[in-house]
Chains A and B, each alone.
Chain A
Amino acid sequence: MKARPPIYGLMAEFEDLPALVQATHRAHEAGYRRMDAFTPFPNEELSELLEGHHNLLPKIVFVGGLLGLLSGVALQWYTNAIDYPINVGGRPLVSWPAWIPVSFEMTVLLAAFATVLGMLGLNGLPMPYHPVFNVPRFALSSQDRFFLCIEAEDPLFDREGTRRFLESLQPHEVSEVEH
């Protein structure tokens, strides 16, 4: 097993969004990949830069919805046509139009659970502890400041060199992130 680097990474604080986006661009051009940007609101350019368009979530939601639909139909089929058939004037037992509302609700219910659990799962939440919280000023990332963190796991990471690189991006401050 590889030895754990002495620190988690280096974090630079920026005062506005354009500065952060530009810094992320420059870091990407410089070859850094193990990094993350932190903002108080969503921004598409940043996500695309770091993650690309790839997103597994819609597929998870589709599977959830499909499962909901099938379980809704199966539930009604089994209970009303097989296990407890009620003959009402000879009308068909598989009266599927009457099953649409419940099948629909089950589809939405399971798809919604898949959305929320999928989003949390892919994001690795809940995660009460994360090294970035060790930087005292990081509390401002949920308010009005913008942060870029380059992780020590990145092959190009060098405690001194990366710090010099981050300082060249005119941040408000660069700090080391403890584990």
Chain B
Amino acid sequence: MTPETRIAESPPSLPNPLIGPGHTFGTITDKISSIVLGQRTPLWWFLTFGVAFLFANAMLLTIVNLLFRGIGIWGPNVPVGWGFDIINFVWWIGIGHAGTLISAILLLLKQTWRQSINRFAEAMTLFAVACAGLYPLLHTGRPWLDYWLFPYPNTMAMWPNFRSPLIWDVFAISTYATVSLLFWYVGLIPDLATLRDRSPSRAGRMIYGILSMGWRGSARHWHRYEMASLLLAALSTPLVVSVHSIVSLDFAVSVIPGWHATIFPPYFVAGAVFAGFAMVLTLAIPLRRLYGLHDFITDRHLDYMARVMLATGLVVGYGYLMEAFMAWYSGSLYEAYMMLNRFAGPYAPAYWALILCNVLAIQTLWFRRVRYSPVLLMVVAMFVNVGMWLERYVIIVVSLSRDFLPSSWGLYAGTQWDWGMFLGTLGFFLTLFLLFIRFLPMISIFEMRTLLPESKLEAEEVHA
């Protein structure tokens, strides 16, 4: 028997390998809620928060400067009209997709291993979407007029053009952010009630009490609650596929070489899930270590996430292959040149670095040793985080810098304010995430309880 088949079959000695041995409803509740209510805030939290907050301020500084001086402080200019702003937008939005995949698609597929990672993955989605949304909103140039994006009766007697993918984006991203927030909040309600009932302070009982809406765990309520969760999952599943498909149509509907391709929607969706799982691992591995959550986020969880990353990474690799093939097969001079330009043009190092990160580095995930080693997994996830950023960089910049007319070719590089904004959103994301793990349960307590055998009835017990 190969090592692969041995892990696939759950060994009889471990009745539930998704949770450490010896846990009861009480210990699960204690462990997760004490991170919020009981323990002193650890020193590392303050240190990380300080650094993250510093970077978040770099973002605020960039935004203030941008409002004063205009988007000229960023690098994009003719012919490269999209730069870091759209690269980072697509990168962040893609990261968010893994959270929805874990909470929605894996719920419909009854994958119980999602239950210890869905809460913080959904939080990651929300914060990633918040970061992503900033870029196009600021890139409009006059962000105080961003409400023009929405259809509302106005004195200009104009309406948005619904034939444009850019307006589809407005609807897709705002729907995605709203539905993700609803899904996340609904999932939190029973756990907020737990925090309300356990909070030692009056303020805690008040705040968690208001947020939990008076949840009392009634069996009738649970019935509708479970139905609502399933329905939200069923709605989110096509939603998440539509969002990155629509993002990819921003490119594919244009006529720019390298963008005008039918493979874009599936290729972007796979890339989004790939990037998102890398970010979930990037967050899960340190969290598990710092809070000692090895009983809840087991090695098996990391293994499953690594497998999803490998599978979606292979789809992305296939996308790269097809892009190259179609560039040749199309017989179009411009498509063929775009591909040559990627291979050997001024941005070739970025292209080959992306192949190294997204195609070669993930091949190590075929080995069980790598998937079960948090350190190695973290390294691979970092490669993917960088690789997916480079992918968007290559797609956007290479095609725009040299399109149809050689006389209007030009090179692009991010300015210090581009970097300020990018590093700033990383800090902003981390700031929000650290606040989340400090004030809300980062693992779904009630869903973890259902992993215990005591939460299920034997057939004879029901009619005893």
Contact = CB atoms under 8 A, between A and B. Distances in A.
Contacts, number: 205
A17 B454 contact: yes
Given A25-B463, A40-B194, A106-B175, 13 more contacts: A43-B222, A45-B457, A51-B223, A55-B223, A76-B162, A79-B162, A80-B161, A101-B249, A112-B232, A127-B213, A128-B214, A139-B198, A142-B217
A95 B163 CA distance: 8
Interface in A44-63: 44-47, 49-51, 55, 57-58, 61
Q: In terms of DSSP, what is the predominant structure of the interface of chain A? A: helix
B409 to A, nearest CB: 29
B178 interface: yes
Given A41-B446, A42-B450, A80-B162, A115 B232 contact: yes
B462 A128 contact: no
Contacts of B171: 101-102, 105-106
Interface in B395-442: none
A140 B210 CA distance: 18
A80 to B, nearest CB: 5
A38 B216 contact: yes
A101 B457 CA distance: 44
B228 A22 contact: no
Interface string B177-190: 01100110110001
A98 B162 contact: yes
Interface stretch (B11-19, B238-246, B352-360): B238-246
B213 A126 contact: yes
Interface residues of B, number: 69
Contact of B214 (A50, A122, A126, A139): A126
26 contacts: A17-B455, A37-B218, A38-B218, A57-B227, A75-B151, A79-B151, A79-B159, A80-B159, A101-B165, A101-B171, A101-B246, A102-B162, A104-B238, A108-B238, A112-B178, A116-B182, A119-B186, A123-B221, A123-B224, A126-B214, A129-B214, A141-B197, A142-B193, A142-B194, A142-B216, A144-B24
A58 to B, nearest CB: 7
B25 A130 contact: no
A105 B242 contact: yes
A111 interface: yes
